Amino acid sequence: MTIRDLIRDYVLADATVASLIGTRIYPDQLPQKVTYPAAVILSVDIVRPNPLRGVASLASARVQFDVYASPGNGQSSRARADAAGTAIRNRLDGQAPTLSDTSVSPAVGVNAWVRFDLETENAEPELDGGLSRHTADYFVQYQTRTGAY
């Protein structure tokens, strides 16, 4: 699993996020026929220091969430996108989770520190009946025991 996948799983484990978007956080792009609201998670970049010996176990990643929403349930598309984006921010900002990669045996623990960076809101009324997009970037500093991710 990548750090993007571990962050995605951590966000999806939140009850508020799940109530707003279910499991609809997709890597890189939305599928063709998606139910809104839905989110895309991107790994914008990963920076690792260059150690003199061994493998770097410290890294810093910038992860971006784009939440897309259409009008529904008596709410505007902007209100729905903002609600889901805020739930994601509340789950991540200022947190120091231990992310567990269970795709390998034994499971690898990843110590992470998450910091909110930038947030924008965009209305795109010409697309699909008035979609709105809520975008937020997060810096994730993390350390692994193996130097992976």
Q: What is the Cα–Cα distance from 61 to 54, expressed in whole angstroms? A: 20
The rounded percent of the chain whose pLDDT value lies above 70 is 79
71 domain-assigned: yes
3-state SS class at 116? strand
Domain count, the chain: 1
Length of the chain: 149
CATH (domain of 37): 3.30.2000.30
100 domain-assigned: yes
Whether residue 20 has pLDDT greater than 90? yes
149 domain-assigned: no
Q: How many CA atoms lie within 13 A of 118 on its CB side?
A: 7
Domain that holds residue 68: 3-144
pLDDT digits (tens, 9 = 90+) for 91-140: 988 777 877 766 655 556 677 777 767 666 565 554 556 788 889 988 88
pTM over 0.85: no
Q: What is the Cα–Cα distance from 126 to 12, expressed in whole angstroms? A: 29
DSSP 51: -
Q: What is the Cα–Cα distance from 46 to 140, expressed in whole angstroms? A: 9
Most confident range, picked from 17-26, 69-78, 104-113, 133-142:
17-26
40 in Cβ contact with 24 (< 8 Å): no
